[in-house]
Amino acid sequence: MSKAFASQADLADKKITFEQLSPHCWAYTAEGDPNSGVIIGDQFIMVSDATATPAMARDLIARIRTVSDKPIKYVLLTHYHAVRVLGASAYFAEGATEVIASQGTYELIVERGAEDMQSEMDRFPRLFRNAESVPGLTWPTMVIGGGDPVKGEVPGKLTVDLGGVKVQIWSPGHGHTRGDTIAWVAEEKVLFSGDLVEYNAGVYTGDAQLEEWPATLEALRALQAEALVPGRGEAMKGNAQVNLALDYTKRWVETLYRCGQEAAAANMDLKSAMAHTRKAMDPVFGNVFIYEHCLPFDVSRAYDEAKGIKNPRIWTAERDKEMWAALQG
């Protein structure tokens, strides 16, 4: 019997946790679903990753309103995947005037945003239950690294003053995508990593730069963060826990890419590459959230990158199903 495609059979609601990590920083996590971060200043609030739909964003907004009535002025897109960004419109009613992303993320939205939107809606029916509330693609108003301030583009590192707390935003290197961007509250040593770092959840790498990702993780380790909001999984508290999440992600990425290189060198087909990768991955990661969802897309990307395809091929709803069918057949 064939497995249900991606997360189409995952319909159970997850337990949401909204917890304070430092005087100004909060984590919104949900048992392996995409996380968001919140930074609350004396004047303004920033949300890191906007959730999948405006309806879902309103749940996060309601939790924010239990602790602050300040305007949510800034929304950071740590990267471009639909489950992270399509809820952004809900924040406009809460005072949001700036949507921040990197130049790499902007380019990815232009290149494949529409395809990604349809692909991810098909993969995650539970997360997109209220898809009709999505007005369309989310576009940044501030582009980091674009170089033209007149067009809303700013240099490679941006510091945002929320009043009483400053947030540094920059791209530490390629990894989950070529546009990954972090938020770093240096005074409180809290890192909002987006999907560059995960913990006890599947590490989606379908659009990744796998060869470069480990070095990017080491750049994040050098910050010596004391708290971390990863892309998926629980918030990490204390430097030892932060390093645990970095190690977890690095092990996933390095194991996956090594298996992809071995499969490519042996000229395996995709189904054989999957079987080869499972031998190394299943014993270590097989029981974590969305493992079975991620692995087919991950193996496909690892094989492609090992074969020299540097820019990830665009995932469309049609390509998703063709890949899934090839692995099931």
DSSP element (H, E) containing 28: strand 25-30
- φ, ψ of residue 197 in degrees (nearest 5): -130, 135
Angle, nearest 10°, between helix axes 317-328 and 270-285?
A: 80
Q: What b/e sequence results for 229-245 when a residue is b if at least 16 CB atoms lie within 10 Å of its CB, and e otherwise?
A: bbbbbbbbbebebbeeb
Q: Is the pLDDT of residue 98 over 90?
A: yes
Q: State the sign of the Cα–Cα–Cα–Cα dihedral 110, 116, 121, 127.
A: negative
Pairwise CA distance, residues 129 & 11, whole Å: 10
- What strand order describes the sheet that includes 25-30? 17-20, 25-30, 33-40, 45-48, 72-76, 98-102, 142-144, 153-154
**pLDDT 10s digits, 249-302:** 999 999 999 999 999 999 999 999 999 999 999 999 999 999 999 999 999 999
Instruction: Say how far apart CA 87 and CA 60 lie, in whole Å.
Output: 10
Give this prediction's pTM.
0.94
Give the separation between CA 286 and CA 43, rounded to whole angstroms. 44
Mean pLDDT for the chain overall: 93
Per-residue pLDDT at 2: 56
Residue 287 host element (H or E):
none
Determine what percent of the chain is predicted with pLDDT higher than 70.
94
Structure tokens at 112: 């494949």
Note the residue count of the chain: 329
- pLDDT per residue as tens digits for the range 33-74: 899 999 999 999 999 999 999 999 999 999 999 999 999 999
User: Is the pLDDT at 150 greater than 60, yes or no?
Assistant: no
Q: Is 243 helix (H, G, I), strand (E, B) or coil?
A: helix
Residue type, 122: D
Crossing angle of the two packed helices 291-306 and 317-328, in degrees rounded to 10: 100
pLDDT, tens digit, 9 for 90 and up, residues 171-186: 999 999 999 999 999 9
Residue 1's pLDDT band (cuts 50, 70, 90): very low
User: Residue 155: what pLDDT?
Assistant: 67
Whole-number Cα distances in Å, 250 to 12, 93, 96, 255: 29, 39, 34, 8
Do 123 and 48 contact (CB within 8 A), yes or no?
Answer: no
Identify the helix (H) or strand (E) that includes residue 187: none
Closest CA to 250 of 205, 294, 186, 207: 205
How much of the chain, in percent, has pLDDT values that exceed 90? 82
Question: Class of 17-328 per CATH?
Answer: alpha beta
- Which one, of 265, 98, 223, lies nearest residue 273 by Cα? 265
